[in-house]
Amino acid sequence: MIDTTARVRELNLYRQYFDLVAAGTKTIEVRVKYPHLADLAAGDIIRFRIKGTDETCEVKVKRVNEYPNFEALLDGEGAANVNPTAAREQQLTNIRAIYSPEKEALGTLAIEIVRIAS
């Protein structure tokens, strides 16, 4: 059940990460600190969507931590919490393929999430 007072954000997610979130094995979502995410807070709801589909998965935000870069984020949060199927160095390569150095320079967010039962 969704708390009707919680803010709901819609964010796109690649299939491989969506499946991990839906299974409950990915507990840390990684994002760049874009202005529209700067006020993301515990209690908010994120509705992840696979771009171009109607497939969604809802999670509740438990906490948000800011880091100066992706390396610090993976070290601080534990790579297995971000992606339990890939080693730290592979994750760093994958994340940096998504986000340019200019975007990483905005700061990075580790968003601890818990799957909401549908």
Q: 8-115: which CATH number, 3.40.50.2300, 3.40.190.10, 1.10.1060.10, 2.30.130.30?
A: 2.30.130.30
Q: What is the pLDDT of residue 3?
A: 53
Q: Is the pLDDT of residue 92 over 60?
A: yes
Q: Please report, to the nearest 10 degrees, the dihedral formed by the alpha carbons of residues 20, 23, 25, 28 taken in order.
A: 60
What would the two tokens of residue 51 be? Answer: 């771009």
Considering the chain, what percentage of its residues have pLDDT values greater than 70?
95
H-helix or E-strand containing 32? strand 28-32
DSSP 101: H
pTM: 0.92
Q: Is the pLDDT of residue 1 over 90?
A: no
Q: Spell out a b/e string for 70-99, using b for 16 or more CB atoms within 10 Å of the CB, else e.
A: beebbeebebbebbeebeeeebbebbeeeb
Average pLDDT, the chain: 94
